């Protein structure tokens, strides 16, 4: 892989990462609810999901997935229902009084590291748009005459490094607004706002079409 090819992929990875999507919404939601440090678990889960999609596309499974309407629809439906489930869970998230904060302040109960990590992982793994991107974009940065695994490793490290930085930026931006959500009513409104976004994205996935088969 040449330097110019890698730089082109780096630019593409940055543009993709900063484009708001389910990962960005998850990072902002958790950043606002739990703070940046605890959101790291969710972001690490997102990265494992990215690596999974990268390997799927690199192995050619992604192309087969797009070629099979039934398989694509199964993944799409699972992803849509999972995001809707996340949205409904956000709507029902419990809010408890936090005496260590200001009077009448409140916070959302923080899930375990494992649960936050799995939320991130499943958010990316069940996203058919991720499969479409990897299958459509990844081959353009693969040199056919060079070994595949080292190239996938370079691309994987690049896209994950970029995504980690961008997702933490989203989480930090959201966490900086925590002072405006110090009462139970505000926290509930925040949960329902992000819950509605997840439900909207999940519903939108039902309308995602697979790419044309070459």
- Report, in this order, helix, strand and coil percent for the chain, each rounded to 5: 75, 5, 20
The answer to whether residue 214 is domain-embedded is no
Claim: this prediction has a pTM higher than 0.85: no
The answer to whether residue 12 is domain-embedded is no
**Shortest CA distance to 174 belongs to which of 16, 48, 25?**
25
Total domain count, the chain: 1
Is the pLDDT at 43 greater than 90? The verdict is yes
Higher pLDDT, residue 164 or 198:
164
Digit-coded pLDDT (tens) for 102-154? 443 445 577 899 999 999 998 888 876 677 677 666 767 777 777 878 888 89
pLDDT, residue 168, reads: 95
Query: Whole-number mean pLDDT of the chain?
Result: 77
The answer to whether residue 18 is domain-embedded is no
Residue 55 belongs to what domain range? Answer: 29-205
DSSP structural state of residue 178: G
**Which tokens hold the place of 60?**
């050619």
The answer to whether residue 13 is domain-embedded is no
Question: Which of 31-45, 84-98, 120-134 holds the top average pLDDT?
Answer: 31-45
The answer to whether residue 16 is domain-embedded is no
């Amino acid at each position: 892989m040449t330097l110019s090819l890698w730089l082109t992929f780096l630019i593409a990875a940055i543009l993709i990462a900063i484009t708001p999507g389910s990962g960005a919404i998850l990072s902002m939601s958790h950043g606002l609810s739990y703070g940046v440090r605890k959101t790291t678990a969710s972001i690490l889960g997102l990265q494992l999901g990215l690596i999974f999609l990268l390997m799927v596309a690199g192995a050619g499974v992604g192309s087969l997935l797009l070629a099979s309407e039934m398989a694509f629809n199964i993944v799409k439906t699972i992803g849509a229902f999972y995001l809707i489930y996340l949205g409904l869970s956000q709507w029902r998230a419990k809010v408890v009084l936090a005496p260590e904060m200001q009077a009448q302040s409140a916070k959302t109960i923080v899930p375990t590291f494992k649960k936050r990590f799995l939320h991130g992982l499943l958010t990316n793994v069940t996203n058919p748009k991720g499969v479409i991107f990897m299958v459509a974009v990844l081959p353009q940065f693969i040199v056919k005459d060079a070994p595949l695994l080292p190239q996938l490793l370079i691309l994987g490290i690049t896209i994950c490094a970029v995504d980690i930085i961008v997702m933490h930026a989203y989480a930090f931006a959201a966490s900086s607004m925590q002072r405006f959500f110090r009462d139970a009513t505000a926290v509930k409104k925040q949960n329902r706002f992000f819950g509605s976004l997840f439900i909207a994205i999940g519903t939108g996935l039902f309308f995602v079409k697979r790419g044309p088969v070459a």
